[in-house]
Amino acid sequence: MRIGVDVRTMEGGAQHRGIGRFATSLIEAMSKIDTRNDYYFFVSHKNAQPPDFQLAKGFKQSAQHGGKQGLRGIKYVRIIYAMPKKLAVDTYDLDVFFQLDPFMPITAHTTPVVTMLYDLIPFLFPKTYQHVPLNGYTPGHFIGYTRSKIKWKILTRMVATFAQADRVISISEHSKKDLISLVPIVNPKKVVAIPLAGELPASKNPGPGALKIVQHRSFLFYFGGADPRKGLVAFTKTLDALWESHPEVYVVYAGKEILDMRIPEARRLDKATSQVSRPKQVIRLGYISDDELMWALKNARSLVFPSSYEGFGLPVLQAMQAGCPVVAYNNSSIPEVAGKAAVLVKDGTSMVPALQQILSDKTYRSRLVREGRLQASKFTWEKSARQTLKVLTEAAKEKKA
């Protein structure tokens, strides 16, 4: 079977973040279980660098490029285009095409397509996530503003193209339900939920680094983005209640957006931090290294994850895998990931009582650590890879029939 894989979304240093990180783990796992089929990794053009995968011996693969880029190949002209050039899939004589990024445009009339679905958050909450600020009055600002507005209009229309895919692989049952609700013409039988796997960073020397201030202290930990649904501002406002019983506890927020004052939620978090009674015990960090992340997960008293909505909730899985108890809200896909191994709090209520119990009861915390590791072990890349290969094979056979 000739399997095309769209890796254009992994170009330009994007392999080790977001979709790129997921795709790398999945493809490397597939290389360990599949030596029969031929894989073709599609990049944008002949000068584009293919991703650097660590592939198993015997795995058959080669790189393909999507043809000439036209004006998109000119450095200062390409910025006027809102979207990449469409990839004409049918010209490559493939049995099936795996679209890792559903918003990387393709055309396919005869080739079966399997499309990934991560989440539809920007389309479920457009007022929050599709707002485009001007940020300035130079020609560059106007071009960027116009390009972003056009891009969102195109992406909103492209959501409907999920219905054209022969199969859709959703990373959670909840994202699957979102798609069927948002795009009713999608056939539910064509959407398959295959969860991600927990993958801790390959850290050889985990150390506190930027977290040295809490090296010998009791602390709670959060890592991820800073946007309204993450709930960091509301959680910060509850810390005074926690400090009434546990004044020694610090809170560490880590993520590249946390200190970016260009982001409205980061500014709101900054203000909320300044208004608590112990602002010096709220540590806000930007990007942290894999070594620092591993140290934090192994030493934090608990992960706090006050998000109101997730497509999957990978930090929850990573924390459990590392032996860090989890307190999160009981919403969206989080119960699928956490099972009964995390403390899931009712939306809109305080996490303080749950955290007080973890901080006060060593036996209870130890039980959460054991149950978390057991829950996390249910999610493996080998399992995801086998299920994905099954879907690709089924899609190819059905189209030929």
What domains does the chain contain, in order, with CATH numbers? 2-196+381-400 (3.40.50.2000), 209-376 (3.40.50.2000)
What does the pLDDT read at residue 46?
A: 81
Query: Which segments of the chain have a pLDDT < 70?
Result: 67-83, 130-137, 139-152, 400-401
CA atoms within 13 A on the CB side of 159: 21
List, for residues 286-319, the tens digit of each pLDDT value. 999 999 999 999 999 999 999 999 999 999 999 9
**Alpha carbon distance 221, 211 (integer Å):** 10
The whole-number pLDDT of residue 13 equals 75
Per-residue pLDDT, 107: 93
Query: Shortest CA distance to 266 belongs to which of 221, 288, 296, 236?
Result: 236
Sign of CA pseudo-dihedral 70, 71, 75, 79: negative
* Length reported for the chain: 401
> What confidence score (pLDDT) does residue 395 get?
97
What is the enclosing helix (H) or strand (E) of 105?
Answer: none
Q: What is the pLDDT of residue 149?
A: 66
Q: What is the pLDDT at residue 18?
A: 80
Side by side, the strands of the sheet bearing 302-305 are 282-285, 250-254, 219-223, 302-305, 326-329, 343-345
Alpha carbons 168 and 187: distance in angstroms, whole number: 10
The model carries a pTM of: 0.89
pLDDT for the residue numbered 151: 67
